[in-house]
């Protein structure tokens, strides 16, 4: 199973490697979606 492989690979990383990987994952999740941004803009304009 792929999850087991990821877990195994992660556990083999150094603390610095784990931190780097965690930052990469966090940064990739922190990207705004263009669709969501557009919906928020439209909604805020309606409310204003």
pLDDT for position 8: 92
How does pLDDT run across 11-37, given as a tens digit for each residue? Answer: 999 999 999 999 999 988 877 788 888
What sign for the dihedral angle of Cα 16, 17, 20, 22? negative
Domain boundary assignment for the chain: 2-47
Higher pLDDT, 30 or 5: 5
Contact (Cβ atoms closer than 8 angstroms) between residue 21 and residue 13: yes
pLDDT for position 19: 95
pLDDT for position 17: 95
pLDDT for position 21: 94
Query: Within 10 Å of residue 21's Cβ, how many Cβ atoms?
Result: 13
């Amino acid at each position: 199973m792929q999850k087991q492989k990821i877990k195994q690979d992660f556990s083999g990383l150094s603390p610095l490697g784990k931190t780097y990987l965690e930052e990469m994952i966090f940064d990739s999740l922190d990207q705004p979606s263009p669709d969501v941004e557009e919906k928020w803009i439209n909604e805020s304009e309606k409310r204003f």
